[in-house]
Amino acid sequence: MYDPVILAQHTRKIVVRGNLRKYYRKVRSERWYGGIAGAYCCGCNLRCVFCWSGFPRDNPDKIGDFYTPEQVFNQLKEVAHKKGYRQIRITGNEPTIGRDHLFGVLELVDQSNLLFILETNGILIGHDKQYAEQLSKFKNLHVRVSLKATNPEKFSKLTGAKPEAFEFQLKALRNLIDSHVSFNPSIMMSFCSPSGIQQLMDRLREIDQSLASNLEEEYVILYPPVVVRLKEAGIEPVI
Ligand code: SF4
């Protein structure tokens, strides 16, 4: 079992150079959120069994090139404008690992009419309260914290991380509330039992009454590499 905070430190050494971040794929337009431009970064601090990011997650040292915040923002802006989208994101892996790079992109987003959707597992925001405070300075930002499971044991089973790290996901929600950052939680429903969902709802209500009603549902997409991973782990989606 690994500690995702430590894994983030190791991964950062590979995918971050100053304010440069490694990306493995050109910016493209996507259908999510009603249309969004997405840049694909390398490296994550979790190892979710349902993750569709294969090689760039597990071998970030062997793939990708480094880009400045300006380069990434300009590509995102170009694709968004071409398609008439207002939303942009950094996807593929975990954007919060390169903090200076991310903040560099967000500074540029704030000078535009675009909205940045920060999709994150929240571990680093939960681990460091200052991260949420720093995010609160950006106005064209909405954070989506993707909860991986409904409790520490399930979290560990699905990510391979130590169970206690699940609390960082929930702590991220608390820290974002305290810092008045626009956000919503989501949950990977495909591996949840009804009692597990109830358990999670109770935890969310303990943090804030509004969280349970703003919980977005996510479902696994069975891309071929995901099917292989699930099979190897002996895990089947229930939904
Ligand atoms: S947090 Fe996201 S990118 Fe990282 S392993 Fe999980 S699903 Fe993949």
24, 64 Cβ separation under 8 angstroms: yes
Domain holding 196, by residue range, is 4-232
Closest ligand 1 atom, residue 121 Cα: 1
In short, whether 145's Cβ falls inside 6 Å of ligand 1 is no
Pocket test for ligand 1, best of 11, 25, 53 (most atoms within 8 A of CB): 53
**Residue 161 belongs to a domain:** yes
| In a domain? residue 239 | no
93-130 pLDDT per residue, tens: 999 999 999 999 999 999 999 999 999 999 999 999 99
> Would you state the pLDDT for residue 26?
86
Expressed in percent and rounded to 5, the helix, strand and coil fractions of the chain are 50, 20, 30
Q: Does residue 237 fall inside a structural domain?
A: no
Q: Which residues contact 97 (CB under 8 A, 6 or more apart)?
A: 8, 11, 12, 15, 16, 43, 44, 45, 124
237 has pLDDT over 90: yes
Yes or no: say if 187 and 218 are a contact pair by the CB < 8 Å rule: yes
Is position 238 within any domain? no
How does residue 206 score in pLDDT terms, banded at 50, 70 and 90? very high
> Number of structural domains, the chain?
1
Centre of ligand 1 from the C-alpha of residue 69, in Å: 22
Q: What is the pLDDT of residues 122-176, one digit of tens each?
A: 999 999 999 999 999 999 999 999 999 999 999 999 999 999 999 999 999 999 9
Asked whether residue 206 is domain-assigned, the answer is yes
Q: Is the CB of 90 under 6 A from ligand 1?
A: no
- Grouping H, G, I as helix, E, B as strand and the rest as coil, residue 86 is coil
- Ligand 1 pocket test, candidate residues 7, 11, 40, 46, most atoms within 8 A of CB: 46
For the Cβ of 11 lying below 6 angstroms from any atom of ligand 1, the answer is no
Query: Is the CB of residue 136 less than 8 Å from the CB of residue 180?
Result: yes
**CA dihedral defined by 33, 35, 40, 44, rounded to 10 degrees?**
0
173 part of a folded domain? yes
User: Domain of 41: which CATH number?
Assistant: 3.20.20.70
Q: What is the pTM assigned to this prediction?
A: 0.96
pLDDT, tens digit, 9 for 90 and up, residues 25-70: 989 999 989 999 999 999 999 999 999 998 999 999 999 999 999 9
Q: How far is the CA of 148 from the centre of ligand 1 (A)?
A: 9
Give distance in angstroms: CA of 94 to centre of ligand 1: 7
Residue 222, domain member (yes or no):
yes
Q: Is residue 40 situated within a structural domain?
A: yes
Residue with CA at minimum distance from ligand 1 atom 7: 51
